[in-house]
Amino acid sequence: MMMEKIFLKNTLKTKMRFLCGILFMSFMVSFGQSNHKNFFRLSGPAKKWALLHPLKAKKALRISLEAKRISDSIQKTNVLDGDGSGGQVDAFRHAFWMARLHQELGKSAARTLGKAHEKENYITFKKRKLEEGTLPDKISSEMDLWNNEQGLKLTKKGSKISKNGLIFRVINAVKSGKLKIIKKDKKGNFLTCKGAKISQKELFQKWNNKKCLVASN
């Protein structure tokens, strides 16, 4: 009986390794030779998503770079508040990213990639690495997840809305207060929900803090 269990366990492990190998090879073929380095730079959660969605990974990378490029361009204008870390530009980037992913890959794949990114942010926090110039925390992750969900609502898979049309749709969502940003004063200091300034000491290397989410308008 014991030998039979060991045999079944080893057989299962062999099958899992074989399946992982097939997924990896499918991913590498679909991702393209020029993007292999990008894959190995991904965190564990993002790599897992890519391996589970090998035919969508290349498109996801293109859309992710596109969303970053467009939000960086908007940040240089006065269309939004110019704040790419907790402000309107940050909210725009996530909502637009999700809207484009939904449009091309479908809602489920887009949502799971967004969640993988937030898991990646927690890993980034634990390693004390910066994201968009600041250390990620719980409130920024909650902001991202909210804005991701709002972005998913702005389009549907296969929608023919143009890229510019989607940009304006997301900007309108930001300006109408449908997205979330982190509360700050005019100098960029983080505030509590009651409007009190939060010191750097209170924020230093803390996942949980007193930052406050507010409507994006």
Q: What pLDDT, in 10s, does the model give residues 101-123?
A: 999 999 999 999 998 888 877 77
**Cα(96)–Cα(70) distance, rounded to whole angstroms?**
9
- Whole-number mean pLDDT of the chain? 82
CA atoms within 13 A on the CB side of 77: 9
| Alpha carbon distance, N-terminus to C-terminus of the chain | 66
For 206, the token pair is 């803390």
pLDDT at 3 over 80: no
pLDDT at 33: 47
Q: What pLDDT, in 10s, does the model give residues 45-103?
A: 777 887 788 888 888 889 999 999 999 999 999 999 999 999 999 999 999 999 999 99
